[in-house]
A and B are shown apart, each in its own frame.
Chain A
Amino acid sequence: MPEGYLPILVMVIIASAFAVIALGVSALLGPRRHNPAKDEPYESGILPFGDARRRFPIQFYVVAVLFILFDVEIILMYPWAMMARRLGLFGLIQMGIFVAILLVGFVYAWKNDAFKWQ
């Protein structure tokens, strides 16, 4: 039943038309006055230096790896959170054990200086 998608199609057309018109009209009608300060990526921000494709210190990756782990493991808490009241104390204890296991990993990483910026 493609009719059901008609509103979405109309929405897509209107949205893209608006974007094209807004950008196109200002490009056609707006005045252009170049000067060096204005052409910088951030006109009133920090002065740019070097290439954007620089090497990052390896520490960024360590932090990123640890972040991914602790960030995504949270997803296992969602099903419990939906049912927390009905699962009661039993569920709470289970989740406590889960968090404790994560905590052991956290403490191990911490004590091994994973969070130190050398």
Chain B
Amino acid sequence: MTLPTLNFLAILPLLILVAATLLVLLADLVVRNKRVLTFLGLLAVAASLAAVLLVRPAAPTFQGMTLADELGLFASVAILVATGLALLLALERTSDFTRRPGAYVALLLLATAGMIVMAKASDFITIFLGLEILSLSLYILVGFAQRDARSNEAALKYFLLGAFASGFFLYGMALIYAATGSTNLAEISKGIASHSASLPFAPLLPIGVGLLLVGYGFKLALVPFHMWTPDVYQGAPTSVTAFMSVATKTAAFASLIRVLAAVWSGDRPWLLALAGLAVVTMTLGNLAALRQTSLKRMLAYSSIAHAGYVLTGLAAGNDRGFEGALYYLIAYTFMNLGAFATIQAVQRRDQNDVTTEQITGLSTQRPGLALLMTVFMFALTGMPPLVGFFGKLYVFSGAVQGGMTWLAIVGVINSAIAAYYYLRVTVLMYMGGATAAAGDIPRTGWAVWTTLVITAVATLALGLWQQPWMESIREAVTLLALR
């Protein structure tokens, strides 16, 4: 028997993250100054990012279990950047909500590892493993604000619904395995292409894909599987919400794109199903966001709507739509993380949320924070020349090109509805008389400022300067080889 050749270089970023997780856990037992642990985490993220960018191994790695392609690279970078920013965001405030900052850092790193596994996975086994590693870490992280009773409740809800969704996810995988005889995406694709009708359990394939979509729907918070999102985003510590709202979406969408590319048959009914899902997702998300008084809850519903926009790109079913979806994910990473970072900067030390009342008249007390929040709100609305505008432009033009002009029109109408609640935040900050005492808002430390500045600059710069990295997005989509 010959032993399989395992390309460890291909999973180097993951090895770094997991080793760092264990190191942080052990260091937590001896180190007194817990800030050291966060710096250790930041170091690990930087090392992992360097490994992603510098070490480019040859494709299929680990016996086809993971892929080292452009899409994986792209998603890994977005996820690692989100982790780094979330760690910075938490640096000064972890002790406000938890007695275990070490475990917090370790779980954040572990969740990152799970997300990267999921984004790079090309086999159902690894997709499932990545999904569970990220989910299990997030269930605990959501419940980390021990002083806030809502945090615990959010964790339990997230856990029960997430585990329930995993069941559907797995059942779908089992049925696809039955229909095609393999769990490897490349093999599945080959099996479907060569003899789709003569496969013994061919009828199980659409049922399996449907169940799989339900599972992805839960993780991506697509309507009608979105019920957990507002509660979880509101109850979780703000730095965790910032992290999970963007990074989970990147990982799950990257994985969904891979799965769709494998089982793709270009069937119109499937595309229409995705389009329908996109329409209800963005419409319900935006309508529910209109009447929120909690900013975190409002952004939770807005994140549902944004998942709908990204899905529009996938429903288009052409290269342009997929490119738009990938661009949107990067854009969303920066603008949404920035918005949550501002919320954390404004929220009081003993609180875990900010109401619309509390930000009324913010511009007189904290002009800097108000200005940054305005940038993020404008970007989320989709104002040119910020990233949000180009994201919407690309996914909608993809839909038009795919012969779904109506979908693009629904999307544009939705953006107009969304503008109301994003701009309302800005209006309140600048027009409203001051209601909150200035002393209630804690001093903003350098780490939070760094996060805010990085996200704001990226929100502006990535809209104006797209050439080099749009090339890499195009390559990622071309490599998927949609039929």
Q: Give chain A's interface residues, CB within 8 Å of chain B.
A: 86-87, 90, 101, 104-105, 107-108, 111
Contacts and interface: CB of A to CB of B under 8 A. Distances in A.
B1 A104 contact: no
Nearest to A110: B29
A111 B29 contact: yes
Given A101-B22, A104-B22, A87 B3 contact: yes
B25 interface: yes
Contacts of A101: 18, 22
Interface residues of B, number: 8
B28 A108 contact: yes
B25 A104 contact: yes
A105 B26 CA distance: 9
B152 to A, nearest CB: 15
16 contacts: A86-B1, A87-B3, A90-B3, A101-B18, A101-B22, A104-B22, A104-B25, A104-B26, A105-B25, A107-B26, A107-B29, A108-B25, A108-B26, A108-B28, A108-B29, A111-B29
B306 to A, nearest CB: 36
Contacts of B22: 101, 104
CB-based closest 5 A-B pairs: A111-B29, A104-B22, A108-B25, A86-B1, A90-B3
Contacts of B25: 104-105, 108
A41 to B, nearest CB: 37
Binding site of A, secondary structure by majority: helix, strand, loop or mixed?
A: helix
Interface in B19-48: 22, 25-26, 28-29
B345 to A, nearest CB: 32
Nearest to B22: A104
Contacts of A86: 1
Contacts of B28: 108
Nearest to A87: B3
A101 B3 CA distance: 23
Contacts of A104: 22, 25-26
A35 B3 CA distance: 71
A71 B18 CA distance: 22
A86 B4 CA distance: 12
Contacts of B3: 87, 90
Contacts of A90: 3
Contacts of A105: 25
A99 to B, nearest CB: 13
Contacts of A107: 26, 29
A95 to B, nearest CB: 14
A105 B22 CA distance: 8
B356 to A, nearest CB: 40
A87 B4 CA distance: 10
A79 to B, nearest CB: 13
B15 to A, nearest CB: 10
A98 B25 CA distance: 16
Contacts of B26: 104, 107-108
Nearest to B18: A101
